[in-house]
Amino acid sequence: MNLLVFGSCVTRDTVPLLEADGLHLHLYVARQSVTSIGHPVSDPHFESLHLPSKFQDRMYRGDLRGDALARIAQAIATAAGPCALVWDLTDERGGVLTAPDGSVLTRTADIAGAGFLQDVPGTWAPHNFGSLQHWLMFKNAAEDLADELRRLGLWERTVVLHNRWAEEDVRGRPTPPSLGLGAVAANEALDTYVDLLRSLGWTVATPDVRPVADTHHQWGLTPFHYTREFYEAAAGAITGALADRQV
């Protein structure tokens, strides 16, 4: 089965374990919030940013286009065989910026690290992950995405990965914050978003182990760069959820 990933390195790093169960990566869309889907950014200020990594820049320009759903639809159309979609919410953590014309930009570590958000035009408004406004925008976007996945015939093969953040690393030390958000606050907010998705009918897969951050992770130490045990549990939760849907 072809695997479509809409999310972060969390799901992407689980892919090698999922491949053992017959799921093969066909699409990876990262650095996009669900609320940016279909809300392209036309402000030339943002077009001027070019990130050093080709992958980062490609994902950033996809967010400017709000093209996650279009890419999912294209992937389904070009796939040889059935597809399954896994969505994780890690890249929602930075919240979004919105403009009066309806444009939505995802606040990612890539553009924050480039210092680009310090010069954002004053017409743009920030909405932090966990805020009421962001939660309401997320709710509307999740409902719209669910409708589109039904239309595409993918709804029964869609799983949300509920990856709670690690509060401690393998040494027992507190994990550092990401985009100003610590693990405790992130988990409190994340749980409300996942509960919302469950209430809207989304299938949720929750790894059955305590998350622990790996100090030697290839992408560095963060609350969502885990030990292998967590990725094994995540893969099991995803395949189990798909099996429960009789995929």
Q: Which residues of the chain carry a pLDDT beneath 50? A: none
Phi, psi of 86 (to 5 degrees): -120, 130
Name the maximum alpha-carbon separation found in the chain: 49
HEC readout, 101-145: CCCEEECCHHHHHCCHHHHCCCCCEEECCCCHHHHHHHHHHHHHH
**Given this model, what pLDDT does residue 44 score?**
87
Strands 104-106 vs 96-98: parallel, antiparallel or unpaired: antiparallel
Strands 125-127 vs 96-98: parallel, antiparallel or unpaired: antiparallel
Across-strand partners of 144?
none
Task: Specify the CATH number for the domain of residue 197.
Answer: 3.40.50.1110
**Given this model, what pLDDT does residue 116 score?**
77
Please return the burial class of 104, using the count of CB atoms within 10 Å of its CB with bins 0-12, 13-18 and 19+.
Answer: buried
Number of domains into which the chain is organized: 1
**Given this model, what pLDDT does residue 246 score?**
62
Q: Coil, helix or strand for 28?
A: strand
pLDDT tens-digit readout, 174-190: 999 999 999 999 999 99
DSSP 8-state code for residue 218: T
**Given this model, what pLDDT does residue 21 score?**
87
* 42-66: b (≥16 Cβ within 10 Å) or e: ebeebeebebeeeebeebbbbbbbb
The pair of three-digit structure tokens given for residue 239, joined into one six-digit string: 């395949």
Nearest Cα neighbor of 241 from 30, 23, 8 is: 23
**Given this model, what pLDDT does residue 191 score?**
97
The Cα 130–Cα 194 span in angstroms is 12
Q: Is the dihedral of CA 137, 140, 144, 150 positive or negative?
A: positive
Domain interval for residue 207: 2-244
